[in-house]
Each structure stands twice: as structure tokens, then as C-alpha cells.
Structure 1
Amino acid sequence: MASPAEQELTLAETESSKEKDQTFGILRLQEEKSNHNKAASKQAGDGRWQAPIFALARKASETLSGSIHVLPKAVEQNKTSPHFSEDWVYKAIRDPMAVERANLLNMAKLSIKGLIESALSFGRTLDSDYPPLQQFFVVMEHCLKHGLKVKKSFLGYNKSLWGPLELVEKLCPEAGEIAASVRDLPGLKTPLGRARAWLRLALMQKKLADYLRCLITRKDLLSDFYEYYAVMVEEEGAVIVGLLVGLNVIDANLCVKGEDLDSQAIPVNQIIHIRSGQIAAMLDQKNYVEELNRQLNSTVHSLQGRVDSMERSNTKLIEELAIAKNNIIKLQEENHQLRNENTIILMKAHQQLEVTKVDVDSELDTYKQSRQRMDEMYNETRRQLREECQLRQEVENELMVQVSMKHEMELAMKLLEKDIHEKQDTLIGLRHQLDEVKAINIEMYQRMQHSDDGLKQKNDIISRLEEKTNQITATMKQLEQRTQLETDLKIEKEWRQTLQNDLQRERGTISQLTTEARQINGLKKEFYRLQDENCQLKRICEEQEQALQELGYKLSE
């Protein structure tokens, strides 16, 4: 695809070709009038300044790979309109501004021709004191001042030549360096001096024709500075800009700092352009050849720039195509890798589901075991209750035994009192036994009292235990329900959390895969589009090479 600069260049060429159709009609008419002086004019000094331009055109045409369509169409169009030049001459006679433009155009042709001839004979390097160069700047100043609108200021009315030249900086960014240099010059005080310095710097840079060409193509902006009849607005401006291309073969070494550019310009000296009586025929022939050379040179330069830009764009497209292919290969590898990772993630997810199932089963087993333990605790509590009941029964039995033993002891005491004399040998033992029996009796009495208290306490304990057992059974049921619900809720939460995490990871991977797939589709479309553009550019390049071969054949003829 062509860049915006190339599109503007082609539009400017078509506009300039339309403006130059009339000029080619006049040049063709002049060629027919001066056909008998053609051989003499070619052998004269014109060959000295034609040769470098033709050499540059041939050198550029050898490396050119574009097509040329502007000049042949203009010449053929003018060939089909033989009465066009006569109508234009009649119009110029009736319009005095057209006469002024024609005079300025002729003066520009004469000054540029004389400057090129003298520069080629002088050695191509000129300084600021060279008279033809001074005359050229004076003529260019008159051409640029023609039809300039008067601007109102605080001091009165004036014509500022610096305004349209300063506009070139916005249209052509390359002219920004010249404009900055002109503004930085210390000796310049007026806009006219800045404009003269700008013309000299542009000539030294060999970009004067290019800058003025950018200026005349924007007629919507020129209307703010020039009248409708100005040279820079009409087709004469395009012809003058085309003539300025020939100045690229000379070198100018001008010192802008030391010159007094704010003063008035010297008048145009026309004596140096008058050579012989046949100057009209020679000028007609010279103008035609010069215009042809200018057209060829400008088209060659423009086509060379277009070919260079096309080659750069082609190389860029090839590099971008290679980069796109590498990106596609990398994306395919990443897609394959992501698919493998997706399968691995799915396998891991299945494994995690199996692990979660195992964990759920283990949690269910633990719940069953805890429930079994709670049942065991309940059974243990019931067993303790039964033991307490048995213990109470044993205490009651022991109390009955103690009562019976008390009666027996009383009987034994009576028997011992009777047998005391018989058993004096065993008195000590009996006394000890008596003391022991007394102690036992006291202990039994105390124990009986304690057993009564304990019985009461145990009755209270039994009632409390029964209440506690009832509470424990109720709490056991509640705990069983709560533990079951808590375990179920905990298991469900863990399972839901794991599933949500897996789902989020899966969604993230799916979104990444979809975005990468969209990027791959976009890259494929861009790749196909670049392939189509590359084919179109190759086809255009082949057509332009064929047209260039035809142009070289015509030039060789």
C-alpha cells in the first residue's frame, strides 16, 4: 500500500500535469514555428546545459522500477487540441494580467537558462557576487511578489513575501531547518530580507523546486496570500517550478550572514539575455526542450522516490511477512503446548475429583466412627448409672448386714460376759477384740450415719444423673444432628470451593485460549492480506518495469 506522502505526490503530479497541458500546447506550436532552426540550436550552446540533465535522466532511468504516465498523456492530449494555444494567446492578449504572467515566465526562463549556461561554463560553483545569480534572485522575487495580497498592519499596508514561504515549513517538514536558520540570522530585520535569505538557502540545498512545488499544489492555502491572477496560483507558476529543477545541476556557495538583504533589490537587467536576432526561435526551441527535460527530470525524480519508497515498503512487507510467519509458527507451537496443558489440567481435575471423592468417603467414615463413639459414650453413661444403682443396692445390703452384725455383737457381748471367767487367757485378746469391735461399732455407726447421708446424696445424685442422662440424650441427639449437618456442610463447602477454584482456572485457561485463537485468526487474516498486497505490488512493479522499458526505448529513439 502507498504511503500518504506518495498519494499526495501522485495527486500533485496529476494536478501539475493538468495545469501544464496548455504550456505543452504553446511549446508544440513554438516547435512547429522553429522547426527549420532545430539543428542550429542543438549545435549551439544549449547542448552544454542539456547534457547534464539528460545524463541525470538516463542514470535515474537505469535504476527506476516505476511507471511514467504524466508526460505522454499531456503531450497526446495537447496533440489532439491544435486550437488550444491560439485560444490561450487570444485570452492572454485580452487579459493584461496574463501578459504580466507571460513576461515574468519568459524572464524566469531567460534567467534560469543564462544561469545554467554560465554556471556550466564557469565551473558549476557560484557565489553571491555572480551577476546572473543576482538577476535570478531578482526575477524570482518579482515572480513571488506578483499578485501578492496587501496585509493591513499597525504601521499601514504592506506586502509580506515571507508569509507564503513560511507556510512551506508546515507543508514540507524538511524546510523547517531553513526556516529556523533564517529566523536565527542576526542581520535580518524585515520579512523581505528573510524571504531573500530563504531563497538563497533553498538554492544551496537544491530543494527550491521541491519546496515551491509543495507550495503551489496547495492553492487553497495560497488564496490567503495571493490574488486569483497571481503567477503562483496560475499554470505559469507550475512551469516556473518545473524550470527550477534544472538548477539542481549547479552548486551555489552563498554567504547569507554578511549580505544586506533588507535593502531594495537591483533592477532586472535584460541586456544580458539578448544575444542575436534569432533569439525568439532559439528561445522557443530551448523552452520546449527545457520543459521536456524538466518534465522528464521531475518525473524521473518522483518515480525514483516512488520506487525507493515501494522498495522500502516491499522490504518492510517481506520482513513483516517473515515476522508474521515466525509469529504464526510460535503461536501454533504455543497452541499445541496449551492444548497439551489443557489435557494435563483435565487429567489433574479428574484426579482431584477422585481424591475429593476419597476424602468425602474418609470424612463419612470418620463421621460414622464419631457417631459410634458417641453411642459408646451413651452406653458407658448408662452402664455407670446401672453401677450406681447396684452400688446403692449394695450399700443398702451392707447396712442390713451391719444391723444384723450389731445384734450379733450384742449377743456376743452377753456371751463374752458370761464366759469372761472361762476365757481369762484370752482376755487381752478379747479386750483388743472388744476395742476393735467398739471401734468397728463406732465406725459402723458412723458409717451408718454416713451411709444415710450418702444414701440421701446418692438419691440426689441419682435424680441429677437421671436429669443429666435425659439432657445428655437430648444433647446427644442435637449433637448428632449438628455434627451431621456440620460435617455435611463442611464437606459441601470444601467440595464447592475446590470446584469453584477448578472452574475459575478452567475459565481463565479457556479465555486465554480463546484470545490466543482470535489473535491467531487476526494474524492469519493479516498474513493473507499482506500476501494479496505483495502480489499486487509485484504486479504493479512488473507493469512499471515494462513501462520503464518502453520509456527507455522511447528515450533512446
Structure 2
Amino acid sequence: MMEERANLMHMMKLSIKVLLQSALSLGRSLDADHAPLQQFFVVMEHCLKHGLKVKKSFIGQNKSFFGPLELVEKLCPEASDIATSVRNLPELNEFYEPEALMMEEEGMVIVGLLVGLNVLDANLCLKGEDLDSQVGVIDFSLYLKDVQDLDSGREHERITDVLDQKNYVEELNRHLSCTVGDLQTKIDGLEKTNSKLQEEITKQDTKVELETYKQTRQGLDEMYSDVWKQLKEEKKVRLELEKELELQIGMKTEMEIAMKLLEKDTHEKQDTLVALRQQLEEVKAINLQMFHKVQNAENSLQQKNEAIASFEGKTNQIMSSMKQMEERLQQAERARQGAEDRSHKLQQEFSGRVSALQLQLSQLRDQCSGLEKELKSEKEQRQALQRELQHERDTSCLLQTELQQVEGLKKELRELQDEKAELQKVCEEQEQALQEMGLHLSQSKLKMEDIKEVNKALKGHTWLKDDEATYCKQCEKEFSISRRKHHCRNCGHIFCNTCSSNELALPSYPKPVRVCDSCHTLLLQRCSSTAS
């Protein structure tokens, strides 16, 4: 072991030296493919594996010893100190032998050598698969290479290093042959110890079974005494229940009478509800009719307002055209007067030019006749426009009357809206009354259900006997010494402790009693509904 530790330490020195020299000669960060870096990791793996113990266990390769220890703790509480002491065992001595490299001074030397690698920059991205695929064999060719660039002064040192490396390789081969023989002897010894361990395990199993049998026997005795006490208590409870049953029978007759009275009240309230719903539907129909009438009236108002606006535009256009025609008439009369003045002047001044003037007069008369015709046509157009004006005035009068009617309709609308508001108030009051009636009905129904439940409880659920049930009704697990039977005081069926761990106050019991999970949820829902 001493020689192995020394050789591994020398190999670690050589690998670190070569790695530093190659890194400084490259002058850049090292990659995962760099051969000296890979060999450094291989040598490091050999150093860490030196003196590593092989884990031996009779439980299995992938299981731990803590599972059986916890089971022993549950069966025997006194074994808790043993389990805690096993958990607090030192970790390093578990994995390495006393003369291993990591337990001696050579390990501290290797840790000091690793500090010098802080100078290097490396870029590593290695996966678990790559590391598993690598062969953990040291490649001595890196350390036995002949470097031609060395000076003559260092040749002697190089030769001595090579001789040292050669001696180390020979010693390593010799040591490997020795380790192969040691491993074979160890394998034989392990096979013998394995057979002995198997025999010891069988003996220990029988001892553990005896101890567990004794402990279970003690537990059964305790459970038997508890069951006997509970039987006595249940007999007392049974006598009290018989007395309460007699009282409940008297209450039952009173509750039946109250049931009949409640049924009569519910029938009467249902009839009133039907009548109120019919009235509500009629009121809603009336409101819809009034709403449609109001919409029609508003639409007709908009159309009439648009017609009045169009008529006003037409009247304005007609008035403007009338003014233009009057201006043309005035211009024509002025032209006629000017022509007559000119004719008088011409008769006075030019008596010799009568023929020319007569011709001009004839032309002027023709023009006058044409103007008179135009005047007549314009007068006819004016009369037609006046007729249209009168027609439009009549239509405006009609529209004014219709507007008055619309105002009357608006007043009627306001009155209808007031009536609608009053009807809505009435409807809201009726809805509130309906809601109150519904609340009363729901309360009466809940009372009916409670009364029915009480009647069922008085009549008695099928109280199962202990012999009739072999498994829990809810989880369907079989009863055993550790899983006891429990009756639900509401439905009478038999459950295990986990499925009937709740307690509630029932009408047939003065104190809270054991109830199954399903009955517990049902009773809580009913209590919440009655409270709301």
C-alpha cells in the first residue's frame, strides 16, 4: 500500500507538471479534447478510487437499510435509539479503508498540488455518457515522449526522469500482478462470508418474528380489554336509547299532525303563487303593448317633423321665385314706359320719318304683345304658385293640428309611464311577496325533510350486527385486529376508524356521536342550507 500511494503521488505530480507546461505553451484556454487534461482526470480517478470499500448488504443493491429500521422502530419503540445512532455514523470511514490514499498524508500533498491549477483556463462541457464511456487507464506515452527542443544542459535530468518512469512502470506491473492474486483471495473470502451471512439472516428473521408475535399478542390483549369496556358502555347507551325511543314515539305522533297542517299550508301557498304568477304575466303583456304603442307614436312624430321641414324648404323656394318674377315684371313695365316716351319724342321731332317710326312702332307693338304674353304666362304661374301656397298653408294647418294631437299623445304617454311606474312598484311588491313565500316554502320543505329524517331515525335504520360486516362500507377494506369496526349513529352501517372519525350532534342523541363521512357531509349541507 505504501508503494501504491507513493507511485500514485508521483503520477499526479507528473500529470500536473505536463498539464501546466502544455497549457503555458499553448497560451489559451484548454478544451475537453486536450489529451494531458484527459489524462489528469484519469490519474485523479485512480487516486480517489485507491482504498475505496465495496458496499456489502444483504438487502439488495438499490435498497437501503433505513426502511427495515423504521419498521423495527414502529413495532418496538425502544429501538429508536439504535436507529438514530445508525443514522449518525461517520461518513468518511464508511467509504475508505484505513491505509487508503485519501486517509493518509499523501492525500493532503495531492490537495496542495491541485491548488497550482488555478492558473489555467479551461472550457469543459462533459456529459455523463462521455465520462462513463472513457477507459480509466493511464497513458504513459505522454510522459515518456522525447522532446528535441531541450537544451544540452537538461539532457541528463531528462534521462534520469525517463529511467525513473521506467522503474515506476515495472513496479506498477509487478504490483498489478500482486493485486490480481489478492483480489482472487478476496473473492473466495467474500463467497464464504456471504454463505455465513445468509445463515445468520435466517436466524435473525426467526428472532424478529418471535418478537413481533409477542408485541402483537400484547397489543391484542390490550385491544380485547378496550373492546370489553366499550361493550359495557354500549350496553348502557342502548338502555338510554330505548328510553329515548319511547319519548320519540310520542314526538312522532305530534310531528305527523304538524306534517298534515304544513301540507295544507303548502297547498294554499302554491295556489296563491299560481294566481300571482298569472297576474304578473298579464302585467308584463300590458307593459309590452304600451311600449310598442309609445315606439309607434315616436316614429310617426319623427316622420311628421321631417315632412314639415321639407314643406318649409319648398315654401322658401317658392317665395324666392315669386320675388324674382315680380322684379322681372317691374323691369318690363319700365322698358315699356321708356319705349312709349321715346315714341312720343320721335313723333314730335321727326314728323317726316313716320313710315320708319311706324315700322318701329309695329316692331315695338310686336315686342309689347310678346311681353304681354310673357306677363300673362307669368301671371298664370303666379296664380299657380299662390294656389300651391294656399295648399301648403292648408297642409301646415293640418300638420299643426297633428302636432297638437301629438302633444296630446305625449301627455297620454306621460300618464301611461306614470301608470307603468305604479305597476312596476306593484310588481316589485308582488315579487318581494313571492320571494318571502318562496323562503317560507323552502323553510317548510327543510322542516319536512328534517321531520322525515327524524321519522327514519325513529323507525330505525338497519343497525348491522358486527358479524354481518367483514369490510368497511366506504373504503371496502377488510376488518382486522388493527382495523376495528365502528357503527355510524345516523345510518347504522359499519365503518373503519378513518371513514367514521367525525362527530356530530343528532336529534336522537343529546351529545355529539360518531358519524360516517357521507352522513357528516350531508348533515353539514343541510345545516348550512337552513342557516342561509
TM-score (norm: length of structure 1) = 0.26
More relative contact order, 1 or 2 (CA 8 Å, 6+ apart): 1
**Higher helix proportion (structure 1 or 2):** 1
TM-score (norm: length of structure 2) = 0.27
